[in-house]
Amino acid sequence: MRNLLVTLAILTVPLPALHLAAQPDPVVRAQELIEAEEPEQALTLLDAHLRRHPADAPALLLRSTARFMTGELAAGRRDLERSLDLDPSQRQGWLNLAALAVTEERYADALDAFDRAERLDPAAPENDLNIGTVRLLAGELEPAAERFGRYLAGDGDTGDGYYLVASNYAMAGYEALAVEHLRQAIERNERARLRARTDPNFSALDRNPRFAELLAADRYRPPIGAHSVRRSFGARYGGGKGPLLPAVLDALQLGDRPFDPRVEVTDGWALIWGDLRIKLADAADGRGVVELTAPAQSFTPAEWAATTDALLRRIAQRAAVRSVKPDKEEADGGMRTP
């Protein structure tokens, strides 16, 4: 459930000499504490403020969030409903009320609340996603698909957008629709594939052959003009169990090369992302292969040559060390990965 966002307009004005500093707004401070995941401290400030200003609708909305965070569900609901009674123009309040109804599987109430939120901001892109999700949970596939289609045709036409829709279809048991939308998510951002591997929302697809095929395939094609270099090594990839993968990770660490620690490892290949895209696999002749790619604008030709030459030399050195017996590697002081 998203928190109320408070925007401050800070004006710079000269203060008279010896003027005492203004006390911080307790509601603003409470918002900061909630964003810092310190709801108990936020409640102390909001309780005191609401004793003096019991009809402060935004403060009630904020206290409802703090109470939900501390597990005070009944009290949080009372604050939320009171806040909306006082000021029904608070769109975030309707979103919160809808989310509460979804968790309780009161889908008709959730739709009513999301409808109020949509009327307050008809152009908000999450309207279609929210309402589509509830329609799907309620078993209304056609109206859900219509809403998802509108979302994906607009601001949702991203890897994250398709991933969210795929996740909803997966949770609702629509496996074919989930796989198709995940495929499109991966086309827009290949890291969606790694994300789906460990996402419990996709656990129901574990035995789906199309899902397994999607996770096993690397269909990435470098854009026109991209930098690319491929080099083979005596060290095998071996489904991630050979010496090549730890050698590449060693080389990146030793060279202070930035990379995402979330490495995608499959039986056939592995991917490491950073300012370079690094793919590891085994060639038909049994040698390990490392392929480096990057967008054309990210390196000049001279920078690309210098960067990749240095990295590939370091990989070769580490691959040689990693290919010897473990006791020899320890004697040589080689790096070891868990």
Three-class secondary structure assignment of 10-48: CCCCCCCCCCCCCCCCHHHHHHHHHHCCCHHHHHHHHHH
Q: Which helix (H) or strand (E) holds 86?
A: helix 73-86
Alpha-carbon gap, residue 218 to 278, rounded angstroms: 12
Q: Which helix (H) or strand (E) holds 128?
A: helix 126-137
Q: Which helix (H) or strand (E) holds 292?
A: strand 288-294
Q: What is the model's pTM?
A: 0.81
Question: Residue ranges of the chain with pLDDT lower than 70?
Answer: 1-23, 325-338
CATH architecture of 26-216: Alpha Horseshoe (1.25)
Residue 18's pLDDT is: 40
Are 320 and 264 spatial neighbours (Cβ–Cβ below 8 Å)? Answer: no
Residue 15's pLDDT is: 35
Burial code of 189-220, b = ≥16 C-beta within 10 A, e = fewer?
ebbbbbbbeeeebbeebeebeebeebbeebee
Alpha-carbon gap, residue 46 to 50, rounded angstroms: 6
Q: What is the DSSP letter of 324?
A: S
Residue 21's pLDDT is: 44
Residue 12's pLDDT is: 32
Are 64 and 79 spatial neighbours (Cβ–Cβ below 8 Å)? Answer: yes
Alpha-carbon gap, residue 111 to 132, rounded angstroms: 10
Residues sharing a CB contact under 8 Å with residue 235, sequence separation 6 or more, in sequence order: 242, 243, 244, 247, 288, 319, 320, 322, 323
Residue 300's pLDDT is: 96
Neighbours of 128 (CB within 10 A): 23
- Fold for the domain defined by 227-331: TATA-Binding Protein (3.30.310)
Are 79 and 62 spatial neighbours (Cβ–Cβ below 8 Å)? Answer: no
Neighbours of 112 (CB within 10 A): 14
Q: How large is the angle between the packed helices 141-153 and 126-137, nearest 10 degrees?
A: 160
Alpha-carbon gap, residue 10 to 271, rounded angstroms: 46
Residue 11's pLDDT is: 31
Residue 323's pLDDT is: 87
Residue 155's pLDDT is: 93
Question: What are the domain boundaries of the chain?
Answer: 26-216, 227-331
Tens of pLDDT, residues 78-136? 999 999 999 999 999 999 999 999 999 999 999 999 999 999 999 998 999 999 999 99
Residue 334's pLDDT is: 41
């102390």: which residue's tokens? 44
On the 0-12 / 13-18 / 19+ scale of CB atoms within 10 A, 65 is buried
Are 43 and 70 spatial neighbours (Cβ–Cβ below 8 Å)? Answer: yes
